[in-house]
């Protein structure tokens, strides 16, 4: 059994990679195969925790810190992985390589987009003059488009990263235990995603931060992004939600 797990997925080829390629693969696998999807799931489904007394307890920072730390980790691991593979001179660019450049391009776009998300505003981050106005609090057109673009690009890049990882594993004839390990992790995350989505845990960021009071301007429109939901005060005890 151990010999089978350690053998390559393709019995006709060997699995012999050097230091740079092996650590490139480990860095990218950890970043894009493990950390990035976990950070996305936490950001989507943990804006209001089951133990949180919403709407008396607002602006839970757990999801934000995990998402930010996760994406910074992915950025650092991506830089390490790219540096390692770039150091291997003379290697032809394969499909895995071109797709990898696409993933890195998407990552760079997300980083730049993050700096352009606008100011927060609202009761927790008022302007110097005391005004509550802010791109997020007012849900300005730019903020709405930012959220839609940030989420769409994020999901697209993570899907592209999964494809790139699979092609990379095949190219180096990775041993079966690697396929089983990353495949099992993705199945667990996928199952968790579907279950939490069906239970209505994809709660609107705006309501998670400021509650459902109609005096908050962002509560006037639907939450941006597919499958996002709004909570009701009547359901706050068990945290069931309704469609926006």
Would you place residue 194 in the very low, low, confident or very high pLDDT band (cuts 50, 70, 90)? very high
Residue 240 has pLDDT above 50, yes or no: no
Q: What is the pLDDT of residue 88?
A: 78
Q: How confident is the model at residue 36 (pLDDT cuts 50, 70, 90)?
A: very high
pLDDT of residue 242: 42
pLDDT tens track for 118-148: 999 998 888 988 899 999 999 999 999 999 9
Handedness of CA 68, 69, 71, 75 (dihedral sign): positive
Residue pair 206/134 in contact (Cβ under 8 Å)? The answer is no
d(CA 43, CA 102): 23
- In the chain the first and final C-alpha atoms are separated, in Å, by 51
CA distance 202 to 231: 10
| Whole-number pLDDT of residue 183 | 95
Structure tokens at 19: 């230091």
What confidence score (pLDDT) does residue 90 get? 65
Q: Are strands 229-231 and 241-243 parallel, antiparallel or unpaired?
A: antiparallel
Q: In whole angstroms, give the CA distance from residue 135 to residue 114.
A: 13
CA dist., res. 45 & res. 195, Å (int):
10
Question: Are 175 and 8 in contact, with CB atoms under 8 Å apart?
Answer: yes
pLDDT score for 233: 62
Q: pTM for this structure?
A: 0.87
Number of other residues whose CB lies within 10 A of the CB of residue 33? 25
How far CA 133 is from CA of 93, 110, 123, 140, 214, in Å, comes to 49, 25, 9, 10, 16
């Amino acid at each position: 059994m151990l010999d089978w797990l350690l053998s390559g997925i393709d019995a006709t080829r060997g699995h012999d990679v050097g230091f740079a390629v092996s650590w490139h693969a480990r860095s990218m696998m950890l970043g894009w195969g493990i950390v990035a999807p976990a950070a996305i799931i936490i950001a989507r489904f943990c804006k209001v925790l089951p133990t949180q007394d919403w709407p008396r307890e607002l602006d839970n920072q757990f999801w934000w810190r995990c998402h930010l730390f996760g994406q910074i980790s992915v950025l650092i691991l991506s830089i390490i992985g790219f540096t390692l593979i770039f150091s291997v001179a003379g290697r032809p660019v394969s499909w895995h390589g071109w797709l990898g450049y696409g993933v890195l391009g998407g990552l760079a776009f997300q980083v730049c987009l993050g700096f352009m998300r606008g100011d927060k505003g609202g009761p927790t981050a008022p302007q110097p003059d005391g005004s509550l106005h802010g791109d997020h609090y007012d849900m300005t057109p730019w903020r709405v488009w930012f959220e839609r673009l940030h989420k769409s690009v994020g999901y697209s890049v993570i899907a592209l990263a999964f494809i790139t990882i699979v092609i990379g594993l095949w190219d180096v004839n990775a041993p079966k235990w690697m396929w089983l390990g990353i495949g099992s992790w993705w199945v667990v995350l996928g199952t968790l995603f579907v279950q939490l989505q069906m239970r209505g845990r994809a709660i609107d960021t705006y309501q998670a931060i400021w509650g459902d009071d109609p005096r908050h301007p962002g509560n006037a429109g639907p939450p941006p992004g597919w499958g996002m939901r709004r909570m009701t005060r009547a359901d706050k005890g068990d945290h069931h939600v309704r469609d926006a």
